[in-house]
Amino acid sequence: MAEQTVIALGFFDGVHLGHGALLRRTVERARALGAQSAAFTFDRSPREFVTGETVPLLTSVEERCALMRRLYGVERVIVAPFDRAMMTMPWEDFLGDLLVARHHAVHLVAGHDFRFGHRNEGDPARLLAWCAAHGVGCDVIPAVTLRGVTVSSTHIRALVEAGDMPGAAAFLGHPYALTGTVEHGKHLGTEELVPTVNLRTEPWHILPRFGVYAVRAELSDGRVFPGVTNVGVRPTIADDDSVTVETNLIGFEGDLYGTAVRIELLRYLRPERRFDSVRTLRAQIERDIRQALDAQSLHGSEPTGSEP
């Protein structure tokens, strides 16, 4: 017999404090019922499927799953494709056929504004009534507020785009991060400035305000380094307007090409600017590094090269 589940419902972009309230309740209910804690999410934004346009997001599917497991102890994450069949599924079938029959839900947890089913006809009131009629437990979690503001992915996206990393971290409950694969750049950092890694990000990934940031970088082998990241077009050395995410890992030596790196942005240090010479730019980068190390101590980051 398949294991019974308690399922949190939502898209969970960013896995912020509001999502955390759902996930904590889910884990609590699962323990009380002797069931498996789970979260249900989609492989892409429903708006992306409907409009065909890239939707800016805070986290990838993989990072959403990792954060839910690591921060809240969710045992299983169900990632469903959002396609035409999902978009046109009646709300009753979403609950009965998909969640209960297929995924063995005995209890559901949703937020106060959760909508589901064809034309978003399912809402918290219908969810509660359906669960009561079918012997399924249900919790609807009220809005979570911080500093008088409702915690939402939309608000956090605005904070990130403004470069307010401490503000974004406060609403997320963890630092905002860019995750990607290290790719080859133009090697100007290595040859003329300081060694850097170039991060390839996805088109959907929200980028913060252009400028220089103090960061904490986690490598694929688990080591953690303080660093400085430039997000922007590098006006002193670039010959085009392509946007790059370029990070100097303080104290790191080695080759990271082709590996995944997670960059937690801790604090905005300064805007991008054009310098008169590479030498002047290098002097500024050295000052940025000193500021970044100060920021690491403020955020309680691990020592260079340590395990997370």
pLDDT, position 57? 95
Instruction: Tell whether 133 and 28 lie within a shared domain.
Output: yes
237 and 108 together in one domain: no
Same domain flag for 132 and 261: no
| CA dist 228 → 20, 162, 186, 247, 273 (Å) | 29, 18, 18, 6, 15
Catalytic residue among 246, 253, 286, 307: 246
Question: How far is Cα 88 from Cα 80, in angstroms, rounded to an integer?
Answer: 14
The tens-digit pLDDT sequence of the chain (308 residues) is 679 999 999 999 999 999 999 999 999 999 999 999 999 999 999 999 989 998 999 999 999 999 999 999 999 999 999 999 999 999 999 999 999 999 999 999 999 999 999 999 999 999 999 999 999 999 999 999 999 999 999 999 999 999 999 999 999 999 999 988 888 655 444 344 456 788 887 888 899 999 999 999 999 899 999 989 989 876 545 555 678 898 988 888 888 888 999 999 999 999 987 776 667 777 777 788 887 777 776 565 433 333 33
Q: What is the SS3 assignment for the chain?
A: CCCCEEEEECCCCCCCHHHHHHHHHHHHHHHHHCCEEEEEEECCCHHHHHHCCCCCECCCHHHHHHHHHHHHCCCEEEEECCCHHHHCCCHHHHHHHHHHHHCCEEEEEEECCCCECHHHCECHHHHHHHHHHHCCEEEEECCCEECCEECCHHHHHHHHHCCCHHHHHHHHCCCEEEEEEEECCCCHHHHHCCCCEEEECCCCECCCCCEEEEEEEEECCCCEEEEEEEEECCCCCCCCCCCEEEEEECCCCCCCCCCEEEEEEEEEEECCCCCCCHHHHHHHHHHHHHHHHHHHHHHCCCCCCECC
Which pLDDT value is given to residue 69? 97
Examine the domain organization and report whether 86 and 13 are in the same domain: yes
Is the Cβ–Cβ distance between 302 and 175 less than 8 Å? no
> Residue 249 and residue 298: Cα distance in Å, rounded?
18
The verdict on 90 and 193 lying in the same domain is no
- Catalytic-residue membership of 246: yes
Number of domains in the chain: 2
145 and 12 together in one domain: yes
Of 99, 131, 150, at which residue does a domain stop? 150
Judge whether 242 lies within some domain. Answer: yes
Domain that holds residue 103: 5-150
The confidence score (pLDDT) of residue 303 equals 33
| Residue 48's CATH number | 3.40.50.620
CATH code: domain of residue 218: 2.40.30.30
Q: Do 51 and 134 fall within a single domain?
A: yes
Residue among 66, 68, 74, 9 at smallest CA distance from 36:
74
User: Three-state SS for 300?
Assistant: coil
Q: What is the pTM for the complete model shown? A: 0.87
Give yes or no: residues 211 and 265 share one domain. Answer: yes
* Residue where the block lists tokens 């801790």: 266
- Contact between 112 and 140 under an 8 Å Cβ cutoff? The reply is yes
Contact 43, 79 (CB under 8 A): yes
